[in-house]
Structures are given as structure tokens and as C-alpha cells.
Amino acid sequence: MRRIILLIALATAVISALASTAAGRTAVSISTVAGRLDHPNGIAFARDGTMYVTEMGHGGDSCYAEPNFLGFGDLGPVCYGQTGAVTRIKNGHRDRIVQGLFSMGVLGGAVSVGAEDLTFDGSGRLLVVMAARAACQPTSVFAWWAQAQIGKVLWTTGKHLRVAADVGGRQCGRGMPSSFPAGLATAGDRLYVADGGSGEMLLMRGKTFRSLGSVKGTFPLSAAIGPDGAVYAGVCNCDGTGKVIRYAPGKPPAIIADGLGWVSGIAFAPDGTLYVSDIHFDEKDQTAAHGELLRIGKKGAVTTVVPQGRLEWPGHIAFGPDGALYVVNHVHWSAAGEILRIKL
């Protein structure tokens, strides 16, 4: 009799666990497609399906005293150099097709910024958005080549780099307290830039910029075009929490998901479903940032797809031509960044 009771209890527990998993998460398959990347962050796919990734680099040997690194106070000397790159990954092989990009970091390059994100425009040009110095501080502390890149959107067709837009200069020139362009998205002739410094989502057509607005206390770090044609941003409140915001011309920005961690990446699946990667900072270990992958449903309903524990310092995300979701992981792990393929 005792054995029967134990079997019934075990079966009940198993069924209950399976039901809980089905209700709260989606079974996924995760594999690593690239490793040993130097602070990767942005990810995009070209028309032919080839993957491209930004590597923010590990700073350099030119150092200066920075009293407020990215708004987080004095973290020690900031050192910069030309260690950033854009890497092409195809059939297991990778090539750094763009090298010598601006990179600045603290703590020996453990925390770095530089080539934040990338995308392709309608003509097939590769666009790369570069980090800026916090609080609209002068760029004269940098060498000429760094001044030519910092705070700008650069473009290339594979031979030379050109400036497509000076986001930092434009924002600081119009009285914004800060500018930190961090995310890119394109649709036709429209280029969207998520400015994590000013808090604005910017729309660029030709040489003309205009703001689509901002939500007080939020800072957009990633951007994606939704199935409705609007642009969506993953934002941080810079207190460890974040949101997803929808921007559309002629309408005020609307919060469509709240109560998230610091949103680092955002992407729409081929069926129009919205996914985000977010970060939860460890109060006991300031170097740790536990990531997760979430699905955002109707009315902001959130489903956990990959729970905290598998991702650490995740960056941008993008769907590949195979329908799988690709996630940049270990953004602030020097020489240990990776790209994960998640089959949903």
C-alpha cells in the first residue's frame, strides 16, 4: 500500500512539474555558434543570410582621467584605442571585415563600449553606431581618429568608413544633457537611432533628423521594426529595471511592457512575436549581470523563454534566416564573448 501511495505521489509531482514548465516557459534548444569574441554587442544579418557582429574591443593604451564614465561615476582611468571591429561569421568561419574602430574601457578593459550596434540599410550598406562620451563632455581628450568616430553612425560597403550621421554632435548641439547612441533599426529609407543618453528615439531620412519623443526616466538601448511599421525600443530606467516602448510618427511614445530587467536586446520573430533579452544585476557581485530571454505577448504579458542562469551580460538579439533567434552573450567578458543560437 505504501508503495502505491509513493508511486501516485511521484506521478503527481512529475505531472505537476511538466505542467508548470509548459505554463511558464517554452522548451528551447541552445547552442554556441561563435566564441572568443572581444566584447561583442550588436548583431545583424545581411540579405544573403550572413551574420555580422560588432566587437566593442577592450579599450587601448591611451588613457585619461574620467570623472563620470557613462554616468556611473569615477571608475578609474579610461583607456581607449582602436581595438573595435565588425566581424562576419559564415559557415563556421569568421573574418574581421572592419578593424580599427574606437573602443574605450575601464577596469583594464573589463567594461568597454565602442561599436554598439549595426544594421543594413535598403541599399545594402553596413551601418555601425558608435558610443559617445557621457554628459556631452568635450571630445578633445581623444586623438583625431577617435573624434571622427565617437557618437556617430558610420557606414561602409567593405572598403572605407564614412560618417552617415553625427548623432552625438546633433544632440549635444541642440541642448541635450547627454547623448549615447546605442541601437539601430532600418526600414526602407528610414534609419532609427536609439539614443540612450538623451532618452530619445531618433528618425533619420536623408540628412534630416527628428525626434519621435521620449518617456521620462527611460533610456533606449536597442531598436527593432515591428510588424505594424512602428519602431520599438528596449529601454533601461538605469535603476536596474526596464521597459519596451513603441514609437510612431505623430503619436506619443507608448509603454507596451513594463516591470522588466534592464532591456539589452529586442527583436520580432517572423510571425510578429516580440522577444527581448534583459539583465538583472547581482546586488552581491557588481560584475555579474544575469540575463534572460522573454516573450512579450498581448497587453504586455511576459513569458520566460530562457530563465536567468544561462545568459550572462546578454547584448542585442536578432532572428536569422533559419528562423532561430541569435543572442549576443558575455558582452563584458573580454575575449570570451559568444553568439548563441536559440531554437524556439
Q: Averaged over 77-86, what is the pLDDT?
A: 96
C-alpha cell at 319: 532572428
With respect to residue 260, please indicate whether it lies within any of the assigned structural domains. Answer: yes
Cβ proximity of 31 and 341 under 8 Å: yes
What pLDDT is stored for residue 23 in this prediction?
A: 40
CATH of the domain at 250: 2.120.10.30
Q: Between 126 and 3, where is the model more confident? A: 126
What pLDDT is stored for residue 265 in this prediction?
A: 98
Give the range of the structural domain holding residue 220, as residue numbers without chain letter. 28-343
With respect to residue 133, please indicate whether it lies within any of the assigned structural domains. Answer: yes
How buried is 26 (Cβ within 10 angstroms: 0-12 exposed, 13-18 middle, 19+ buried)?
middle
**Concatenated DSSP letters for 183-235?**
EEEEETTEEEEEETTT-EEEEEETTEEEEEEE-TT-EEEEEEE-TTS-EEEEE
Confidence of residue 113 (pLDDT cuts 50, 70, 90): very high
What pLDDT is stored for residue 315 in this prediction?
A: 98
Confidence of residue 11 (pLDDT cuts 50, 70, 90): very low
With respect to residue 23, please indicate whether it lies within any of the assigned structural domains. Answer: no
Confidence of residue 121 (pLDDT cuts 50, 70, 90): very high
Q: What is the pLDDT of residues 167-221, one digit of tens each?
A: 999 999 999 999 999 999 999 999 999 999 999 999 999 889 999 999 999 999 9
With respect to residue 7, please indicate whether it lies within any of the assigned structural domains. Answer: no
State how many domains the chain has: 1
With respect to residue 13, please indicate whether it lies within any of the assigned structural domains. Answer: no
What pLDDT is stored for residue 26 in this prediction?
A: 55
With respect to residue 19, please indicate whether it lies within any of the assigned structural domains. Answer: no
Q: What is the pLDDT of residues 302-344, one digit of tens each?
A: 999 999 989 999 999 999 999 999 999 999 887 899 999 999 9
Nearest CA-CA partner of 329 in 29, 19, 39: 39
What pLDDT is stored for residue 47 in this prediction?
A: 94
Nearest CA-CA partner of 56 in 112, 95, 97: 112
Q: What is the pLDDT of residues 255-301, one digit of tens each?
A: 999 999 999 999 999 999 999 999 998 888 767 899 999 999 988 99
With respect to residue 15, please indicate whether it lies within any of the assigned structural domains. Answer: no
With respect to residue 139, please indicate whether it lies within any of the assigned structural domains. Answer: yes
Backbone CA torsion sign across 69, 267, 213, 301: negative
What pLDDT is stored for residue 17 in this prediction?
A: 34
Distance of alpha carbon 302 from its chain centroid, rounded?
19
